[in-house]
Amino acid sequence: MSDALDFVDAALQRESGRQRAADSRARLGEDLDYYGCSVGAIRGALRDVAGRYPAVTGHDPVVELASELWSSPVYERRLAAVILLQTQVALLDNTDLTRLEGFLRDGGVTELVDTLAVEILAPMISGLWETGRGRAEAALTRWASSDNPWLRRAAAQTREHVSPRG
């Protein structure tokens, strides 16, 4: 675990609440574990990590931290990964599709998959040109016919929100 991940994870656990975790489990399902912290606490932890670890800027460090956050099946950690990528979507390109596909395959809950599709994949693909966009479209086509229901859902949601290149 990186220091930045340790920092974020500790902050999320510090802000956790048993009742909020139970409410989240009841609302979102049993596929993930829950700390029970608020979206505000997640955003605060990410803001604090940016100040404390200035090296977590640019494409590679941001994507690495998002991957570390996603690696544990805890809803709030995965939501932190999504929010981190959402705030840095301009850094992403078609080379990130494989990683994002991995996130989607084990998304765990509709809320995470839909946010990845609508708030990260669609804007990323909308900003791509020719070759990159063609590769992204090929991935969406493959996902649309996948056996994995999360990939199928993400393909449909992404296509619905991709802007034409103009």
Q: Is 135 exposed, middle or buried (0-12, 13-18, 19+ CB in 10 A)?
A: middle
At 119, the pLDDT band (50, 70, 90 cuts) reads: very high
Q: Looking at the predicted structure, is the pLDDT value of residue 31 above 70?
A: yes
Cα separation, 87 vs 128, whole angstroms: 17
Cα separation, 107 vs 143, whole angstroms: 14
pLDDT of residue 165: 67
Q: Which residue has the tokens 């090296």?
A: 55
Range 15-26 average pLDDT? 95
Q: Which residue has the tokens 């493959």?
A: 142
* Domain architecture of the chain: domains with CATH: 1-89 (1.25.10.90), 92-166 (no CATH)
Cα separation, 158 vs 154, whole angstroms: 6
Cα separation, 98 vs 131, whole angstroms: 16
Range 51-80 average pLDDT? 95
At 1, the pLDDT band (50, 70, 90 cuts) reads: low
Q: Looking at the predicted structure, is the pLDDT value of residue 86 above 90?
A: yes
At 42, the pLDDT band (50, 70, 90 cuts) reads: very high
Count other Cβ atoms within 10 Å, centred on residue 37: 24
Over the stretch 120-165, which tens digit does the pLDDT of each residue have?
A: 999 999 999 888 999 999 999 999 999 999 999 999 999 999 987 6
Q: Is the dihedral of CA 126, 130, 133, 138 positive or negative?
A: positive
Count other Cβ atoms within 10 Å, centred on residue 108: 19
Q: Which residue has the tokens 């996902």?
A: 143
* Size (the chain), residues: 166
pLDDT of residue 142: 97
Cα separation, 57 vs 163, whole angstroms: 27
